[in-house]
């Protein structure tokens, strides 16, 4: 599948509801933090919020306003641990809804043309990257973290499934 902005916005718009559908109303035993080394669902939601606020849109702005002449600002992928401290998961889910709606509105307001989507910015590790690549990565990043949530939850029943573990690829 080639990059298409409308398809990207479909997934980015659906992610908050998908995450809320997976986690809303569940007990802490399912959703709690796993810590810096083994993120649980709570950590993933905090990370998604932080990414919307400090990663995707700011980097897209660099591409649109300054291009490859300026490297992306550094991104602290662990900042959410401090930002989420003391908050309930329901509060984080609400914050994610708001942050993502604002991000989607920003992307739509840019009215991105094919020429704009091909503009480049400079990633400190990868070199020059196109705006379309950044937006595609944002989409796959969401899907990766949805998988991470499901995997983290499944592993909580790792021993409880007994011999069926052999057939449950999520536990391997």
Domain boundaries, the chain: 5-171
The number of residues making up the chain comes to 172
Q: Give the alpha-carbon dihedral of 149, 150, 152, 156, to 10 degrees.
A: 140
Nearest-angstrom CA–CA distance, 52 and 47: 9
Q: Which helix (H) or strand (E) holds 123?
A: strand 120-123
CATH class (in words) of the domain with range 5-171 = mainly alpha
Cα(147)–Cα(142) distance, integer angstroms: 9
pLDDT of residue 44: 98
Residue 124 scores a pLDDT above 90 = no
Cβ within 8 Å of residue 20, ≥6 positions away: 93, 96, 97
Cβ partners under 8 Å of residue 146, min gap 6:
15, 18, 19, 22
pLDDT at 111: 97
What percent of the chain shows pLDDT beyond 70?
100
Quick: pLDDT tens for 46-79. 999 999 999 999 999 999 998 777 888 888 999 8
Of 104, 23, 93, 14, nearest to 57 by C-alpha is 104
Tokens of 8: 């990207």
Q: Quote the mean pLDDT of the chain.
A: 95
pLDDT at 69: 77
| Secondary structure element (H or E) that encloses residue 129, with its range | strand 127-130
Interatomic CA distance for residues 102 and 81, integer angstroms: 22
Contact residues for 122 (Cβ-Cβ < 8 A; gap 6+): 68, 69, 70, 71, 72, 128, 129
């Amino acid at each position: 599948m080639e990059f298409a902005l409308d398809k990207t916005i479909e997934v980015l718009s659906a992610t908050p509801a998908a995450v809320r559908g997976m986690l809303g109303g569940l007990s802490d035993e399912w959703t709690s933090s796993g810590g810096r080394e083994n993120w649980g669902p709570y950590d993933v939601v905090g990370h998604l919020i932080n990414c919307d606020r400090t990663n995707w849109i700011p980097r897209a702005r660099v591409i649109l306003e300054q291009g490859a002449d300026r490297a992306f600002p550094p991104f602290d992928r662990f900042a959410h641990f401090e930002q989420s401290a003391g908050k309930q998961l329901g509060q984080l889910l609400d914050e994610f809804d708001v942050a993502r709606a604002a991000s989607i509105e920003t992307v739509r307001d840019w009215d991105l043309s094919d020429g704009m989507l091909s503009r480049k910015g400079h990633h400190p590790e990868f070199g020059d990257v196109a705006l379309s690549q950044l937006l595609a990565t944002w989409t796959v990043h969401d899907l990766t973290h949805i998988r991470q949530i499901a995997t983290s939850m499944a592993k909580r029943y790792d021993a409880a499934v007994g011999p069926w573990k052999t057939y449950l690829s999520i536990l391997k």
